């Protein structure tokens, strides 16, 4: 056998080995110096030769190596490798034996060595086979560390409340975290198979983003910071977001893009609520000043109006109904009575009247108001729908004044739709039953935006002269405020007008007492 001289060199003096091998000396030197273990094994699975690296890996003394069973040398934890080797020798005659690769673990004194074992059958020498042992302990350690880091960053990205999306330069999505899935409605399978990054934006939004990222004008080349835009949900509706992202480079070449998407809907709602609160505060201050003025005016007008009505009635009685001036006197009396009504409204608006406050069921107020109004001629061609919640807690108030508020708004709605259309009245709980909400919506043409801020001002009306005093909504606003509530209005030509009233609910105790 050609390599028999190589195999018989175990335990010989290096000089004797060099003399015996002659021109093969450099091959033996390489074999003995390689960091990988090499074990020559006979067909009886006993070791013929092992280089120093193999002896070190297997932790078997040099003197015990030769003639030792490979199964014993590998140890009981690696029987699978030995069984597979034996199995290959049992293949039918003429069947070629493939290389065998196994990962094995050697334990010695508590240490752990991970080896990649490669079994090679030299076709030129079928009377032995080789076992190559490659130390991959450090590689496995690095792989484990890499897996832990990848797992950490994956969990970090997935736990972000913001949507994080990355795509290659062809627009194929390579990262779509749970925040993005929640924001945009796609599941993980859809992002891998059918979703293209351009489908997330309006029109050519994706290409416009790339263009801005490549510019130096939006945070530096390759970056785009705090850019407000609109993305599309899976169902088609639009979502306002704040976008920050950039381009990922490798050796100067663009390989991917990424973006962080912060949902702005809640922030916008907060801003709208703050603006609405500010407007309501300004309106309250204005109404307070006007209330004081109205109270003074009402008292100054009330006494003269009483005198006018008294003397007009006396003159009418003295002259009789047949007198030529009777109609003029009736006009004076009618207009004076109308002034008295305005004065009463002014006093109501300025809080110059007092009334008792008790526990009130908001649904009862709605029912009583509809009972009074439903037989009025203006409601004959109007469909009134009621969607009243059954779980409303009572509120603290005066039912008569609350009835006045609801009646004012419903009558205004009927007049807005000109006696033909629909009115929807709905109640529901808000803020974990802490708030009762009443919404009154009509199908009318809506209110112009430039008039919305004025509708609660005293004497403001869009009705023709003589058809209204302009105090109905002002008085309603004042009554709602006295009940520690709020009133808001939303209007558009498409959806009509909705008045939303909110009142604090009262939690009744077992003793009959109530806590607001």
Predicted confidence (pLDDT) per residue in 175-193, tens digit: 999 889 989 989 888 888 8
SS3 500: strand
For 369-425, how does the pLDDT look when each residue is reduced to its tens digit (9 = 90+)?
Answer: 898 787 788 888 899 999 999 989 999 998 888 988 998 899 889 988 988 899 999
Residue 295: what pLDDT? 67
Residue found under tokens 């922030």: 267
Ranking 88-97, 385-394, 443-452 by mean pLDDT, the lowest is 88-97
Residue found under tokens 């030197």: 29
What is the pLDDT confidence band of residue 286, given thresholds at 50, 70 and 90? low
Ranking 154-168, 276-290, 360-374 by mean pLDDT, the lowest is 276-290
Largest separation between any pair of C-alpha atoms in the chain: 158
Euclidean distance between CA atoms 474 and 460, whole angstroms: 9
Rg of the chain taking only CA atoms, in angstroms: 46
Q: Given a cut of 80, is residue 264 above it in pLDDT?
A: yes
Please give the average per-residue pLDDT across 277-295, as a whole number: 66
Higher pLDDT, 460 or 351: 460
Please give the average per-residue pLDDT across 144-163, as a whole number: 85
395 dihedral zone (left: phi>0; alpha: psi -120 to 50; beta): beta
Euclidean distance between CA atoms 349 and 58, whole angstroms: 99
Strands (E), 290-363: 358-360
Higher pLDDT, 94 or 506: 506
Cα 293 from chain centroid (whole Å): 49
Higher pLDDT, 125 or 333: 333
Q: How far lies 264's CA from each of 229, 240, 511, in Å?
A: 10, 6, 46
Name the burial class of residue 223, with classes exposed (0-12), middle (13-18) and buried (19+) by CB atoms within 10 angstroms of its CB: middle
Please give the average per-residue pLDDT across 310-314, as a whole number: 85
Q: What are phi and psi of 290, to 5 degrees?
A: -65, -30
Q: Report if pTM > 0.75.
A: no
Q: What are phi and psi of 387, to 5 degrees?
A: -125, 80
Strands (E), 335-419: 358-360, 382-388, 395-397
Please give the average per-residue pLDDT across 149-177, as a whole number: 87
- Domains in the chain, ordered, with CATH? 34-140 (3.30.450.20), 160-263 (3.30.450.20), 265-353 (1.10.287), 354-516 (3.30.565.10)
Q: What are phi and psi of 436, to 5 degrees?
A: -100, 130
Euclidean distance between CA atoms 139 and 83, whole angstroms: 26
Higher pLDDT, 458 or 317: 317
What is the pLDDT confidence band of residue 328, given thresholds at 50, 70 and 90? confident
Q: Given a cut of 80, is residue 341 above it in pLDDT?
A: no
SS3 456: coil
Please give the average per-residue pLDDT across 216-238, as a whole number: 85
Euclidean distance between CA atoms 219 and 225, whole angstroms: 6
Euclidean distance between CA atoms 422 and 445, whole angstroms: 12
Please give the average per-residue pLDDT across 61-66, as a whole number: 74
Residue 108: what pLDDT? 54
What is the pLDDT confidence band of residue 141, given thresholds at 50, 70 and 90? confident
Give the H/E segment covering residue 131: strand 128-135
Q: Percentage of the chain surpassing pLDDT 90?
A: 15
Contact predicate 443/417, CB 8 Å: yes
Contact predicate 47/131, CB 8 Å: no
What is the pLDDT confidence band of residue 76, given thresholds at 50, 70 and 90? confident
Residue 143: what pLDDT? 85
Residue 25: what pLDDT? 60
Please give the average per-residue pLDDT across 45-55, as a whole number: 87
Q: Percentage of the chain surpassing pLDDT 70?
A: 79
Q: Given a cut of 70, is residue 95 above it in pLDDT?
A: no
Q: Given a cut of 70, is residue 317 above it in pLDDT?
A: yes
Contact predicate 202/232, CB 8 Å: yes
Euclidean distance between CA atoms 168 and 195, whole angstroms: 13
Residue 353: what pLDDT? 55
Q: How many residues does the chain have?
A: 516
For 425-435, how does the pLDDT look when each residue is reduced to its tens digit (9 = 90+)?
Answer: 999 998 888 99
Euclidean distance between CA atoms 425 and 431, whole angstroms: 20
Residue 1: what pLDDT? 33
Q: What is the mean pLDDT of the chain?
A: 80
Residue 476: what pLDDT? 87
For 20-44, how does the pLDDT look when each residue is reduced to its tens digit (9 = 90+)?
Answer: 555 556 677 777 888 888 888 888 8
Euclidean distance between CA atoms 412 and 491, whole angstroms: 14
Residue 142: what pLDDT? 87
Beginning with the edge strand found earlier in the chain, give each strand of the sheet holding 238-250 in spatial order: 173-176, 163-168, 253-263, 238-250, 223-232
Ranking 26-40, 309-323, 343-357, 466-480 by mean pLDDT, the lowest is 343-357
């Amino acid at each position: 056998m050609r390599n028999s001289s190589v195999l018989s060199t175990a335990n010989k003096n290096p000089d004797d080995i060099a003399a015996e091998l002659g021109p093969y000396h450099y091959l033996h030197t390489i074999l003995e110096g390689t960091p990988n273990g090499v074990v020559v094994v006979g067909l009886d699975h006993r070791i013929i030769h092992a280089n120093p690296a193999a002896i070190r890996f297997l932790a078997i003394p040099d003197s015990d190596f030769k003639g030792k069973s490979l199964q014993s040398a590998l140890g009981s934890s690696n029987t699978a490798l030995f069984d597979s080797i034996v199995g290959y020798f049992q293949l039918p005659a003429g069947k070629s034996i493939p290389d065998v690769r196994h990962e094995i673990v050697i334990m010695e004194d508590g240490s752990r060595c991970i080896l990649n074992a490669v079994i090679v059958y030299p076709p030129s020498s079928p009377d032995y086979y080789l076992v190559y042992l490659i130390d991959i302990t450090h590689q496995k350690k690095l792989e484990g560390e890499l897996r832990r880091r990848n797992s950490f960053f994956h969990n970090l990205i997935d736990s972000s409340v913001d949507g994080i999306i990355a795509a290659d330069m062809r627009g194929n999505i390579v990262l779509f975290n749970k925040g993005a899935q929640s924001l945009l409605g796609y599941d993980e399978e859809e992002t891998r198979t059918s979703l293209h990054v351009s489908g997330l934006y309006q029109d050519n939004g994706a290409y416009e983003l790339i263009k801005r990222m490549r510019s130096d004008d939006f945070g530096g080349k390759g970056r785009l910071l705090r850019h407000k835009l609109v993305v599309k949900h899976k169902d088609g509706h639009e979502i306002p977001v704040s976008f920050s992202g950039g381009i990922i480079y490798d050796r100067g070449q663009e390989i991917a893009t990424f973006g962080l998407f912060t949902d702005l809907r809640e922030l916008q709602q907060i801003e709208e609520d703050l603006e609405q609160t500010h407007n309501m505060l300004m309106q309250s201050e204005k109404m307070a000043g006007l209330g004081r003025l109205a109270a003074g005016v009402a008292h100054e007008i009330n006494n003269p109006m009483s005198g006018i009505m008294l003397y007009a009635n006396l003159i009418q009685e003295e002259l009789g109904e047949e007198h030529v001036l009777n109609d003029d006197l009736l006009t004076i009396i009618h207009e004076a009575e109308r002034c008295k009504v305005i004065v009463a409204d002014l006093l109501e608006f300025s809080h110059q009247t007092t009334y008792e406050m008790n526990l009130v069921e908001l649904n009862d107020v709605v029912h009583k108001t509809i009972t009074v109004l439903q037989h009025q001629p203006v409601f004959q061609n109007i469909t009134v729908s009621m969607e009243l919640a059954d779980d409303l807690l009572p509120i603290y108030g005066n039912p008569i004044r609350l009835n006045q508020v609801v009646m004012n708004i419903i009558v205004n709605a009927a007049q807005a739709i000109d006696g033909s259309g629909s009115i929807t009245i709905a109640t529901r709980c808000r803020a974990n039953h802490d708030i009762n909400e009443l919404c009154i919506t009509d199908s009318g043409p809506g209110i112009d935006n430039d008039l919305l801020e004025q509708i609660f001002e005293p004497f403001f009306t869009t009705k023709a002269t003589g058809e209204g005093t302009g105090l109905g909504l002002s008085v309603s606003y004042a009554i709602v405020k006295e009940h520690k509530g709020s009133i808001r209005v939303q209007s558009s030509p498409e959806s009509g007008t909705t008045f939303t009233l909110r009142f604090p609910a009262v939690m009744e105790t077992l003793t009959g007492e109530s806590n607001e």
